[in-house]
Amino acid sequence: MSATKPTVGWIGLGKIGTPMAQQVQAAGYPLVVYNRTAGKLKPLVEAGAKAAGGMTELAAQSDVVISMISDDPALREVGAAVKAGIKKGALYIDMSTVSPAASAEVAGWINGAGASYLRAPVSGSTMLASKGALTIFVSGPKPVFEAHRPIFEAMGKAIHHVGPAEEARHLKLAINLMIGVTAATIGEALAFGEGGGMEWRQMIDIINASVVASPLTGYKAEMLKNRDFAPAFTAAQMVKDFDLALETARAANVPMPVTAMVRQFMGALVAMGRGEKDFFSYVTLMEDLAGLSARAKPKD
């Protein structure tokens, strides 16, 4: 531990984990890093982070362990390794988008090892992550959150403590399913307008100046106009989040008919080989289904 700041152990240097860890590093926290694929450690290590040989070793060297990893199986694997090494009185924060059920399981393991656990899923893009401007929802013991607020402030602009247990997991999934459903609505509407002869770029500009414009439609406007679906968040990731929400809802008998239907089409997009494109490529599926695909397009 440094004189002023706790040592942070970071697990998961993927698309969003890397810029988030870089913000923590830039805020002056001593960093120990681990990524399953070692090649991704390079930017952090070159900037002074220490590479750990494994996740248990990383946990043993850290005051605060943070993970930003893919999904429930990853959380269970990472959680088990962290539990094996975490110091008594230390803290584990998982910031991934995972189910309340897997998160509660890991909470039990970490608390059983004498450490604290916070859930802190994030809302925002990789671009916002690189500016330290994410929205972060935290749930877990409030005094622990308050004591570690500066770490969250390194990564986020809006930070909300939303409850003592799995509340943040529910909120994150609720927001993501609205984002996914919005992509589906826009995809359907754009294919409709295109079929009716609207000029592609003009249509997107006018929609963004209309009453349905939102931060999301604005943020995705250039991607749509340029038909450049390089992923900020992939269709496969959106399917994962839909499934987490639907499974959580099913267990509690909460009906989610709109989410369930859009999940079918988002799944078809993945099945057609577009799972690694951004989820806003949903419009291309709607174009295919509307028979518009043969038409000349600026770029796909």
97 binds ligand NAP (CB under 6 A): yes
Point out which span in 73-81, 135-143, 219-227, 270-278 binds ligand NAP (CB under 6 A): 73-81
80/113 Cα distance (integer angstroms)? 11
Buried-state track 63-95, b at ≥16 Cβ within 10 A, e below 16: bbbbbbbbbbebbeebbebbbebbeeebbbbbb
118 binds ligand NAP (CB under 6 A): no
E-strand ranges in 68-196 read 91-94, 116-119, 122-123, 134-139, 156-163
132/152 Cα distance (integer angstroms)? 9
CB neighbour class for 238 (10 Å; exposed up to 12, middle 13-18, buried from 19): buried
What sign for the dihedral angle of Cα 187, 189, 191, 193?
negative
237 binds ligand NAP (CB under 6 A): yes
In single-letter form, the type of residue at position 141 comes to P
22 binds ligand NAP (CB under 6 A): no
In single-letter form, the type of residue at position 27 comes to A
36 binds ligand NAP (CB under 6 A): yes
Structure tokens given for 263: 């999940």
70 binds ligand NAP (CB under 6 A): yes
Residue from 7, 22, 23, 96 touching ligand NAP (CB under 6 A): that is 96
Residue from 64, 69, 93, 136 touching ligand NAP (CB under 6 A): that is 69
152 binds ligand NAP (CB under 6 A): no
- Secondary structure letter of residue 159 according to DSSP: E
Chain position whose Cβ is nearest to ligand NAP: 14
In single-letter form, the type of residue at position 249 comes to A
Residue from 232, 239, 244, 249 touching ligand NAP (CB under 6 A): that is 232
Residue from 117, 137, 145, 233 touching ligand NAP (CB under 6 A): that is 233
Q: Which of residues 1-20 bind ligand NAP (CB under 6 A)?
A: 12-17
**Shortest Å distance, C-beta 67 to ligand NAP:** 8
103 binds ligand NAP (CB under 6 A): no
Q: Looking at beta carbons only, is 77 or 199 nearer to ligand NAP? A: 77
**Shortest Å distance, C-beta 204 to ligand NAP:** 21
Cα 89 to the chain's mean position, in Å? 27
Q: Which residues contact ligand NAP (rule: CB under 6 A)?
A: 12-17, 35-37, 40, 68-70, 74, 77-78, 96-97, 122, 125-126, 232-233, 237
